[in-house]
Amino acid sequence: MPPSGAATQPRLIDFHAIGDHRGWLTPLEEHKEIPFSVKRVYVIHGTLPDISRGFHAHRDLEQVAICVAGQCTFVTDDGQQRQEFLLNSPNQGLYMKSMIWREMHHFSPDCVLVVLANRLYDPSDYVRDYAEFQRLVQGATA
Ligand code: TYD
């Protein structure tokens, strides 16, 4: 048996970039490199200095975040374990399942963050209060 919560831990996915004399191309297909059907894509860019974003979890949403230019850091938290990930390559994506608290920090001025999601935007899917997030995840494992 995996340790409790292991199945929901965020993880980095390495993509395979195809190179030739022109440069590089990184293919991303649903249920291949991306472990779900992609319903929505959004792009975070032009982030101003000293700005952090996120500070929420999603009740029912899978996402892969890819920093296609520049870099930023993600802090993830499943209610028990906090992890920090540096995203700085179009050849890597951070996969997060539901009920992962995430914060994005240290955006470089040129950071372009592409996020793929398996559901359309739904404001009611957000948990924006950290104490409520902790209650929900502790309730789920109790
Ligand atoms: P928000 O969720 O606050 O961004 P962050 O990830 O930094 O917490 O989203 C900012 C605004 O963009 C807010 O008005 C909602 C809107 N939005 C959409 O319309 N569609 C989307 O897919 C997302 C992620 C946000």
Percent of the chain with pLDDT over 90: 92
Whether ligand 1 lies within 6 angstroms of the CB of 105 is answered as: no
Whether ligand 1 lies within 6 angstroms of the CB of 24 is answered as: no
Q: Cα separation of 109 and 48, whole Å?
A: 7
Domains of the chain as residue ranges with CATH: 32-120+127-141 (2.60.120.10)
Q: Which residue's CA lies nearest to atom 18 of ligand 1?
A: 121
Average pLDDT value for the chain: 94
Cβ-proximal residues to 102 (8 Å cutoff; 6+ apart), any chain: 10, 54, 56, 57, 74, 75, 76, 77, 96
Instruction: Please give the distance, rounded to the nearest whole angstrom, from the Cα atom of residue 54 to the centre of ligand 1.
Output: 9
Report how far Cα 2 is from the mean position of its chain's Cα atoms: 22
Whether ligand 1 lies within 6 angstroms of the CB of 42 is answered as: yes
Give the pLDDT confidence of 86-98 residue by residue, as tens digits: 999 999 999 999 9
Report yes or no: 106 and 72 within 8 Å, Cβ to Cβ: yes
Give the pLDDT confidence of 25-69 residue by residue, as tens digits: 999 999 999 999 999 999 999 999 999 999 999 999 999 999 999
R_g of the chain, CA atoms, integer Å: 16
User: How is residue 75 written in tokens?
Assistant: 């802090």
Report yes or no: 117 and 40 within 8 Å, Cβ to Cβ: yes
Q: Which residue's CA lies nearest to atom 23 of ligand 1?
A: 121
